[in-house]
Amino acid sequence: MLVLALAAVSILASPVRAQTSAETRAAADALYEESGVLMKASHFNEACPKLETSQRLDPGVGTLLRLGYCYEHIGRSASAWSAYNDAEASARRASDNRADDAAARAKAIEPKLSRLLIALASPAPGQTVLRDGTPVDPGLWGTPVPVDPGEHVIESSAPGKRPWKASARIEAMAGTTTIAIPELLAGIEPPKEAPVAPPRDGASGSVQRPLGFALVGVGAAGLVIGAITLGLDASKHATFLQQCPTGVCPASLEPQLQGVVNSYHTLGIVSSTSLVAGGTLAATGLILALTAPTTKPQAAGISPLVGLGYAGLAGRF
C-alpha cells in the first residue's frame, strides 16, 4: 500500500511552481526524488526534512502532498493536515485536479487532531505569548488550535511583569488541552550588567609592584627568623657537645640533657623551614616587582577639531 500511495503521489507530482532558477529547481527535484527513496524504505524521519527544503526552494502541490503523507507517518498530524490544506489551496488556484485528493486527505485527518487552547486570565498591555519559541498571534488566544502531539512549551511576558512559563504534553488523540496563563505579577526586570571598562595601561602594574614588595618584606622577615633560630640551634648543639664530645652521652647525663636535645632539634626544623620559605617569598616578590609594567603617561598635545558648523582645538594634557 505504501508503494502504491507513493506512486500515486509521484504520478501527479508536477508542482505548481513559482519563477525560480533552473539550479534551484534542480536541487528541489533532487531532494524530492531522494525523499521518495527514503519513504519507500520507511525512513520517514529523514525524508520529511528533505521535503521541507524542497518545498521551500520550489513550492509545488506534489511536494506538499508528499510532505503531508510523510508527516502522517511520524505522528505530526497537525502538520500533515496543514500541508494537505495548503496543497488543496494551491491546486484550486491553478485549476489542478489534485485539489480534491488533497481535500480528502485533510478531511480524513481532521477528526483525529489534537488541539491546544491558550487562555489568558487578564492580558496585560504589551503582553506576548510564545509557543515553542514562536509568537502566538493574539487572535488565536482562546481558540483551540491543532498542534502536533508531544511536548510544547508556553511562555508569556509583558513590560514590567514577571515572565511566566509552562509545558504541556499533548497526547496523540482527538481532544483539546487547555493551558491557562494566569495574570502576570508585577515585577522588576533584572538589571543589565554594566559594561566593564578595559584596564588602562599600567593598571595591572599598579597592583603587581606593591604585591611584589610586600612578598619581599614577608620573605625577608622569614630569613631573619631563620637566621636567629639557626644561631640558637648552633648554641644548643654546642652545649650538647660540651657534655658529650663523642655524641654519645653517659646514662647518668641523659635525663639532664634531654631538654637540650629536644630544643636544638626543634630549632633546626624552624630555622630550615623559615630560611626556605623566606627565600622563596623574597625571590617571588622581587620578580613581581621587577616585571610589573610601567604606567606610561599620555603625552600632552593639541589637535584640530573640525565638524559640521563648528571648528576648534582638542587637547590632551
Report helix angle 2-11 to 22-40, nearest 10.
160
Higher pLDDT, 114 or 261: 114
Higher pLDDT, 78 or 200: 78
**Rounded CA gap, 63 and 16, in Å?**
10
Q: Same domain, yes or no, for 151 and 164?
A: yes
How large is the C-alpha radius of gyration of the chain? 42
Q: What is the DSSP letter of 161?
A: B
Q: Residue holding cell 652521652?
A: 249
Report field, pTM of the whole predicted structure over 0.85:
no
Q: Same domain, yes or no, for 105 and 9?
A: yes
Q: Same domain, yes or no, for 92 and 156?
A: no
User: Is 305 within a domain?
Assistant: no
What φ, ψ does residue 48 adopt, rounded to 5°? -60, -45
Q: Same domain, yes or no, for 98 and 137?
A: no
Q: Same domain, yes or no, for 124 and 100?
A: no
Q: Same domain, yes or no, for 121 and 107?
A: no
User: Is 57 within a domain?
Assistant: yes
Residue 144 identity: P
Higher pLDDT, 149 or 247: 149
pLDDT for 109-151, tens place per residue?
999 999 999 999 889 999 999 999 999 999 999 999 999 999 9
b/e burial code for range 161-198 (CB count within 10 A of at least 16 → b): beebeeebebeeeeeebebebeebeeeeeeeeeeeeee
User: Is 310 within a domain?
Assistant: no
User: Is 148 within a domain?
Assistant: yes
Residue 139 is placed in which grid cell? 487572535
If 0-12 CB within 10 Å is exposed, 13-18 middle and 19+ buried, where does residue 291 land? exposed
Confidence of residue 255 (pLDDT cuts 50, 70, 90): low
Residue 9 identity: V
| Mean of all residue pLDDT scores within the chain | 77
**Rounded CA gap, 89 and 250, in Å?**
117
Q: Same domain, yes or no, for 146 and 172?
A: yes
User: Is 47 within a domain?
Assistant: yes
Q: Work out how many domains the chain is built from and give that number.
A: 3
229 touches 274 (CB < 8 A): yes
What mean pLDDT comes out for the span 158-164?
94
Q: Which of 111, 136, 160 represents a domain boundary (last residue)?
A: 111
Q: Which of 148, 181, 214 represents a domain boundary (last residue)?
A: 181
CA dihedral (128, 133, 135, 136) positive or negative: negative
Higher pLDDT, 218 or 118: 118
Q: Which of 69, 90, 111 represents a domain boundary (last residue)?
A: 111
In three-state secondary structure terms, 37 is helix
Question: Could you list the residue range(s) of the whole structural domain that residue 164 is in?
Answer: 114-181
Q: Same domain, yes or no, for 103 and 122?
A: no
Q: Same domain, yes or no, for 248 and 287?
A: yes
**Rounded CA gap, 44 and 255, in Å?**
94
Residue 15: what pLDDT? 45
Residue partners of 268: CB distance under 8 A and separation at least 6: 233
Name the pairing type of β-strands 301-307 and 310-316.
antiparallel
pLDDT for 45-61, tens place per residue?
999 999 999 999 999 99
Confidence of residue 1 (pLDDT cuts 50, 70, 90): very low
**Rounded CA gap, 65 and 81, in Å?**
10
User: Is 27 within a domain?
Assistant: yes
Higher pLDDT, 209 or 10: 209
Higher pLDDT, 84 or 312: 84
**Rounded CA gap, 51 and 168, in Å?**
28
Q: Same domain, yes or no, for 103 and 134?
A: no
Q: Same domain, yes or no, for 84 and 148?
A: no
User: Is 135 within a domain?
Assistant: yes
User: Is 215 within a domain?
Assistant: yes
Element of type H or E holding 267: helix 254-291
**Rounded CA gap, 10 and 248, in Å?**
109
Q: CATH number, domain at 135?
A: 2.60.40
What mean pLDDT comes out for the span 260-284?
66
Beta bridge partners of 96: none
Confidence of residue 257 (pLDDT cuts 50, 70, 90): low
Length of the chain: 317
Q: Residue holding cell 508528499?
A: 66
Q: Same domain, yes or no, for 246 and 167?
A: no
Q: CATH number, domain at 96?
A: 1.25.40.10
Higher pLDDT, 81 or 283: 81
**In 3D, which of 267, 276, 270, 274 has the Cα closest to residue 221?**
274
Confidence of residue 199 (pLDDT cuts 50, 70, 90): very low
The backbone region for 126, taken as left when phi is positive above 0, alpha when psi lies in -120 to 50, beta otherwise, is left
